[in-house]
Structure 1
Amino acid sequence: MTTATPFGRTLCAMITPFTKEGALDLDGAQRLADRLVSEGCDGLVLSGTTGESPTTSDAEKSALVTAVREAVGERASVVTGVGTSDTRHTVELALAAEKAGADGVLVVTPYYSRPPQDAVEAHFREIADASGLPVMLYDIPGRTGTRIEPETVIRLAEHPRIVAVKDCSYDFLGAQKVLARTELAYYAGCDEHNLALYAVGGTGYVSTVANLIPAQLRAVLDVFEAGDPPAAARLQQRATRLVELTMASGLPGTVTAKALLNALGLPAGPVRAPLRPAGRETADGLLAEYERLMADA
Structure 2
Amino acid sequence: MTTDDDRPSPPPFGRALCAMVTPFTDSGALDLDGAQRLADRLAAAGCDGLVLSGTTGESPTTTDAEKSELVTAVREAVGNRAALVAGVGTADTRHTVELALAAEKAGADGLLVVAPYYSRPPQDALEAHFREVADACGLPLALYDIPARTGTRIEPDTLVRLADHPRIVAVKDCSYDLLGTQKVLSRTDLAYYAGCDEQILALYAIGAAGYVSTVANVVPELFRTLLDAFDAGDTGRAARLQRRALALIEPMMAAGLPGTVTTKALLGALGLPSGPVRAPLRAADRKATGELLAAYRGLSSEAGQSQA
1:136 equivalent in structure 2: 142
Give the structure-2-normalised TM-score. 0.96
Q: In structure 2, the residue corresponding to 1:284 is in which secondary structure? A: helix
Instruction: Kindly indicate whether residue 8 of structure 2 is the aligned counterpart of residue 3 of structure 1.
Output: yes
1:209 equivalent in structure 2: 215
How far the C-alpha of 1:112 sits from its partner, in A, is 0.2
1:93 equivalent in structure 2: 99
Q: Which runs of 5+ in 2 are unaligned?
A: 1-5, 304-308
1:284 equivalent in structure 2: 290
**Where does 1:65-80 land on structure 2 (aligned, <5 Å)?**
65-80=71-86
How many angstroms apart in 2 are the aligned matches of 1:188 and 1:281? 30
How far the C-alpha of 1:281 sits from its partner, in A, is 1.1
Give the structure-1-normalised TM-score. 0.99
Q: Let me know the Cα RMSD of the aligned residues.
A: 0.6
Choose which of 19, 29, 43 in structure 1 pairs with 2:25.
19
Assess if the C-alpha contact under 8 Å between 2:72 and 2:107 holds in 1.
Answer: yes
How many angstroms apart in 2 are the aligned matches of 1:203 and 1:183? 10
How many angstroms apart in 2 are the aligned matches of 1:267 and 1:135? 28
Choose which of 151, 155, 162 in structure 2 pairs with 1:156.
162
How many angstroms apart in 2 are the aligned matches of 1:147 and 1:223? 32
1:227 equivalent in structure 2: 233
Choose which of 218, 237, 246 in structure 1 pairs with 2:243.
237
Assess if the C-alpha contact under 8 Å between 1:2 and 1:184 holds in 2.
Answer: no
Instruction: Kindly indicate whether residue 261 of structure 2 is the aligned counterpart of residue 255 of structure 1.
Output: yes
How many angstroms apart in 2 are the aligned matches of 1:226 and 1:245? 30
Assess if the C-alpha contact under 8 Å between 2:247 and 2:299 holds in 1.
Answer: no
**Where does 1:52-67 land on structure 2 (aligned, <5 Å)?**
52-67=58-73
Q: Deviations over 1:50-88 (max 9, x none)?
A: 000000000000000000000000011000100000000
Q: Deviations over 1:245-283 (max 9, x none)?
A: 100011110000000000000000000000000011111
2:278 equivalent in structure 1: 272
* Amino acid corresponding to residue 301 of structure 2 in structure 1: A
How many angstroms apart in 1 are the aligned matches of 2:38 and 2:21? 9
How far the C-alpha of 1:3 sits from its partner, in A, is 2.1
Q: In structure 2, the residue corresponding to 1:186 is in which secondary structure? A: strand
Q: Which runs of 5+ in 1 are unaligned?
A: none
Q: Deviations over 1:186-226 (max 9, x none)?
A: 00000000000000000100000000111011111110111
How many angstroms apart in 2 are the aligned matches of 1:142 and 1:27? 33
Assess if the C-alpha contact under 8 Å between 2:83 and 2:109 holds in 1.
Answer: yes
1:190 equivalent in structure 2: 196
Assess if the C-alpha contact under 8 Å between 1:270 and 1:277 holds in 2.
Answer: yes
How far the C-alpha of 1:2 sits from its partner, in A, is 3.0
Q: In structure 2, the residue corresponding to 1:48 is in which secondary structure? A: coil
How many angstroms apart in 2 are the aligned matches of 1:84 and 1:59? 15
* Amino acid corresponding to residue 248 of structure 2 in structure 1: L
How far the C-alpha of 1:293 sits from its partner, in A, is 1.0
1:176 equivalent in structure 2: 182
Assess if the C-alpha contact under 8 Å between 1:29 and 1:68 holds in 2.
Answer: yes
Instruction: Kindly indicate whether residue 39 of structure 2 is the aligned counterpart of residue 29 of structure 1.
Output: no
How many angstroms apart in 2 are the aligned matches of 1:280 and 1:177? 44
How many angstroms apart in 2 are the aligned matches of 1:44 and 1:52? 14
Choose which of 43, 49, 59 in structure 1 pairs with 2:49.
43
Task: State percent identity of aligned pairs.
Answer: 75
